[in-house]
Amino acid sequence: MKDKDRIDLSDMSRRDGRPLSHVENQDLMPLPAPLDDSARERAWIPLTDQAKNRYECLLDDTCAVSVPKPATKAEEDALVRKFLTGLDKLFTRENNWTFLQPLVLSMEHCAKCQTCAEACHIFEASGRNELYRPTYRSEIMRRLYFKYVKHGGMISAWQHGDIEVNWPLVARLIELAYRCNLCRRCAQTCPIGADNGLVAHELRKVFSQEMGIAAKELHDTGSMPQLKVGSSTGMSAEVVKDNIQFIDEETSERTGITVQTPWDVEGADVLLIHNAGEILAWPENPGAFALILNAAGISWTLSSDIAGYDSVNYGLWYDDAQFARVAVKHAEAAKKLKVGKIVLGECGHAHKALSVIADRVLTGDLNIPRESSMTLLRDIVMSGRLKLDPARNDFPVTLHDPCNLVRLMGVVEPQREVVRAICPQFREMEPHGVDNYCCGGGSGFAIMSGHNFPDWRFHVSGRKKLEQVLNAFGDCLDPSIPKYLCAPCSNCKGQFRDMLAYYGLWEQNKILYGGLVELIVNAMTEVKPGFIEWEWH
């Protein structure tokens, strides 16, 4: 195998049936204490022989999409033709009016200056592995664009670079499209405005919309069950209501305040939509929301309509049709209840999906105002409607900025105003705000756990954020001091849950993660002390 530093663009077409790159722990970006001994870092679980024999694992040490190996050369050729047909469609207005202009601009104007590479947490954390350089993927796509979409000849190849398309290249590109968190930190630094995140996004669309290939966690067990039963978790409305009732009871018991969640209230001011994952994995979050909204006297409701109780929209990461369908379902639920506005719970991608991206999908009476819960919570906390005692939160707290909420939507300060007001030991990560780093679970990775993919997302994609968290708590790593990593986003919390456990940072250093509403309820003087229980979950 070639040294990782010498992976070339032409290697994508290699037919030797072997991965292009192998990542060793000692190659990775060093971490601060207590993870500063790379020799003690956990070894990766190797891909099984069964996985290697069955799926196309030609890229690196892991496999995110599990594309079955074609049985014959004819099948391979058919898949390549399908890919090229899809690529062609990607550059037509009828098929891709949704992103045509920014995509063409990114194809035609990259100066290949590599400024973006220095901004990419995956490239940096991997020890500058060429495969994860943001322009590596984009340059493959760009060369395909000029050769197969623009039908450039020899002069075009001389100007833009040549490429040989074959099945190994397509198979590797499918995997490579899922080695980017779509956080767009690279795009933020591009002097021209080219967008490598968008390129990865559009590649995923070709694979899904033309070839029917997507990560199963996003499609088969993600957007499809959401459209079928109402939630990507598989929960029907009846199950959700049962769970919420249980959460209400639990919250009432824990806080000493009776909590009742309203369902399907017509004409309510606010339709609150949670990421349904909260209901199953972090029930204290919807419980805290209910308590706060009731205490503040907000007119609000949940919806039991299909998709109305689950704000996730995984189509955002791989498929425009699935994305638009779910967004329409959300809007229909709000329209049916005649609510004043939709408020999105603590879920970053749901924020961006419904507030920003779907803004040019929802028209007419489906264009119902959407607002962030960060804003609503800021208004409630700052209004003085709740009696809050910051001394109850007198432990080190840092705040994670979900990319979708912050860099990609501009909701930066409301959550900070809350944390500053109620957490005396609040400290920022560096950098933060719109310059933040992704948690490493973005673009669906937090819910993707096939084969040994978690090893990759903890060692590589989550590494930069892990460094930030450890630095933020560098002065108080002693396990006698409980520390709170506030992540107002379900997917980010999922990544933190798994990553902190993977590195033993709860057991050894008492770093806990959670949402924003838990901190607010923990500070409420009317609530029994100790809403945050300092137990691993």
396-425 residues in contact with other proteins (CB under 8 A) are 406-414
Least spacing, CB of residue 198 vs other proteins, in Å:
7
Could you write out the DSSP letters of every residue in 83-117? HHHHHHHHTSHHHHTTTHHHHHHHHHH-----TGG
Stretch 179-198 residues interacting with other proteins (CB under 8 A): 184, 187-195, 198
Token couple for 278: 């909260």
Least spacing, CB of residue 34 vs other proteins, in Å:
32
Stretch 128-147 residues interacting with other proteins (CB under 8 A): 130, 135, 139
Least spacing, CB of residue 87 vs other proteins, in Å:
12
Task: Tell me: does residue 153 bind other proteins (CB under 8 A).
Answer: no
Looking at the Cβ atoms of 195 and 217, the one nearer to other proteins is: 195
Looking at the Cβ atoms of 52 and 121, the one nearer to other proteins is: 121
Task: Tell me: does residue 24 bind other proteins (CB under 8 A).
Answer: no
Stretch touching other proteins by CB under 8 A, among 30-38, 48-56, 285-293, 363-371: 363-371
**Does residue 163 come out as left (phi exceeding 0), alpha (psi in the -120 to 50 range) or beta?**
beta
Stretch 308-347 residues interacting with other proteins (CB under 8 A): 319, 321-322, 324-325, 328, 341
Please tell me whether residue 271 adopts helix, strand or coil conformation: strand
Strands lying side by side in the sheet with 397-399:
426-427, 397-399, 483-486, 511-514
Looking at the Cβ atoms of 68 and 369, the one nearer to other proteins is: 369
Cβ-contact 516, 418 below 8 angstroms = yes
Task: Tell me: does residue 268 bind other proteins (CB under 8 A).
Answer: no
Stretch 432-461 residues interacting with other proteins (CB under 8 A): 433-434
Stretch 374-393 residues interacting with other proteins (CB under 8 A): 375-376, 379
Q: Which of 51, 356, 421, 481 contacts other proteins by CB under 8 A? A: 356
Cβ-contact 417, 381 below 8 angstroms = yes
Task: Tell me: does residue 361 bind other proteins (CB under 8 A).
Answer: yes
| Mutual angle of helices 463-472 and 490-502, in 10-degree steps | 80
Beta strands in 331-440 (DSSP E): 341-344, 370-372, 397-399, 426-427
Looking at the Cβ atoms of 438 and 470, the one nearer to other proteins is: 438
Task: Tell me: does residue 173 bind other proteins (CB under 8 A).
Answer: no
Residue 312 makes CB contacts below 8 A (sequence gap 6+) with 222, 226, 231, 232, 275, 276, 277, 326, 347, 349, 350, 490
Least spacing, CB of residue 133 vs other proteins, in Å:
8
Looking at the Cβ atoms of 58 and 190, the one nearer to other proteins is: 190
Least spacing, CB of residue 111 vs other proteins, in Å:
6
Cβ-contact 234, 307 below 8 angstroms = no
Q: Which of 32, 34, 70, 102 contacts other proteins by CB under 8 A? A: 102
Residue 116 makes CB contacts below 8 A (sequence gap 6+) with 134, 135, 186, 187, 189, 190, 194, 196
Stretch touching other proteins by CB under 8 A, among 57-65, 113-121, 163-171, 524-532: 113-121
Looking at the Cβ atoms of 31 and 213, the one nearer to other proteins is: 213
Task: Tell me: does residue 158 bind other proteins (CB under 8 A).
Answer: yes
Cβ-contact 148, 88 below 8 angstroms = yes
Token couple for 409: 């939507």
Task: Tell me: does residue 149 bind other proteins (CB under 8 A).
Answer: no
Token couple for 337: 């209840």
Looking at the Cβ atoms of 52 and 185, the one nearer to other proteins is: 185
Least spacing, CB of residue 4 vs other proteins, in Å:
13
Q: Which of 93, 151, 266, 535 contacts other proteins by CB under 8 A? A: 93
Task: Tell me: does residue 474 bind other proteins (CB under 8 A).
Answer: no
Task: Tell me: does residue 27 bind other proteins (CB under 8 A).
Answer: no
Please tell me whether residue 425 adopts helix, strand or coil conformation: coil
Task: Tell me: does residue 114 bind other proteins (CB under 8 A).
Answer: yes
Cβ-contact 526, 387 below 8 angstroms = yes
> How many other CB atoms sit within 10 Å of the CB of residue 42?
12
Task: Tell me: does residue 51 bind other proteins (CB under 8 A).
Answer: no
Q: Which of 16, 24, 242, 359 contacts other proteins by CB under 8 A? A: 359
Cβ-contact 487, 493 below 8 angstroms = yes
End-to-end Cα separation, the chain, in angstroms: 42
CA neighbor of 326 nearest in space, from 347, 301, 354: 354
Task: Tell me: does residue 111 bind other proteins (CB under 8 A).
Answer: yes
Please tell me whether residue 377 adopts helix, strand or coil conformation: helix
Cβ-contact 344, 350 below 8 angstroms = yes
Least spacing, CB of residue 376 vs other proteins, in Å:
6
Least spacing, CB of residue 357 vs other proteins, in Å:
5
Looking at the Cβ atoms of 268 and 357, the one nearer to other proteins is: 357
What is the distance between the alpha carbons of residues 152 and 298, in angstroms, rounded to a whole number? 60
x-or-dash pattern for other proteins, window 211-250, by CB under 8 A?
Answer: xx------x----xx-xx----------------------
Task: Tell me: does residue 210 bind other proteins (CB under 8 A).
Answer: yes
